[in-house]
């Protein structure tokens, strides 16, 4: 899969979260939703600032996917009760955007944390149950368009 296929040109694509039919799980849909929320929140709150660092829309899409996929292990740990709180590390941001200063990395982490909290609040009332049925097949991957 090429970078254009993976990251699209301007939006997060569901196809970034599966490469075969068996990966169309509810957990991967949750990761897609998280990436969309991170993308939208980063664009809204820090888009102009990131432009000053020559970070464009495509990089924000890639970053959102990177963070969401990187959080999968801690999401599973949270679901299993192994950890009480989801922690998003500085390293996740710094590995993708090494040119950013600590202040901007912290702002990105705040945006990601807020996106996480907001998505969980929606999940509490959503009938799809992506979290409690994380391994189940998710038909939303097949429904589009997105």
Task: Indicate whether this model's pTM tops 0.85.
Answer: yes
Q: CA–CA distance from 73 to each of 33, 53, 83 (Å)?
A: 16, 30, 11
Rounded distance, CA 35 to CA 131, Å?
15
Q: Are 64 and 35 in contact (CB under 8 A)?
A: yes
Query: Residue 4's pLDDT is what?
Result: 41
SS3 at position 137: strand
Say what the pLDDT of residue 145 is.
Answer: 59
Model pLDDT, residue 1: 32
State the burial class of residue 138 (Cβ atoms within 10 Å of its Cβ: 0-12, 13-18, 19+): buried
Q: Delimit the domains of the chain by residue range.
A: 4-8+23-132
Per-residue pLDDT of the chain (146 residues), as tens digits, is 333 444 444 589 999 999 999 999 999 999 999 999 999 999 999 999 999 999 999 999 999 999 999 998 888 887 777 888 888 889 999 999 999 999 999 999 999 999 998 998 888 788 888 888 989 999 999 986 55
* Cβ neighbour number for residue 122 with a 10 Å cutoff: 10
């Amino acid at each position: 899969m090429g970078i254009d296929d993976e990251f699209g040109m301007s939006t997060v694509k569901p196809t970034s979260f599966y490469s075969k039919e068996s990966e169309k799980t509810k957990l991967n849909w949750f990761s897609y939703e998280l990436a969309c929320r991170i993308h939208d929140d980063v664009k809204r709150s820090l888009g102009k600032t990131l432009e000053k660092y020559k970070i464009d829309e495509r990089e924000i899409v890639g970053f959102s996917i990177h963070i969401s996929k990187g959080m999968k292990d801690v999401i599973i740990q949270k679901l299993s009760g192994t950890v009480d709180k989801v922690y998003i590390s500085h390293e996740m941001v710094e590995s993708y955007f090494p040119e950013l200063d600590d202040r901007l990395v912290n702002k990105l982490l705040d945006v990601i944390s807020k996106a996480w909290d907001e998505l969980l609040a929606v999940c509490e009332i959503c009938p799809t149950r992506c979290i409690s049925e994380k391994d189940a097949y998710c038909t939303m991957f097949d429904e589009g368009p997105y």
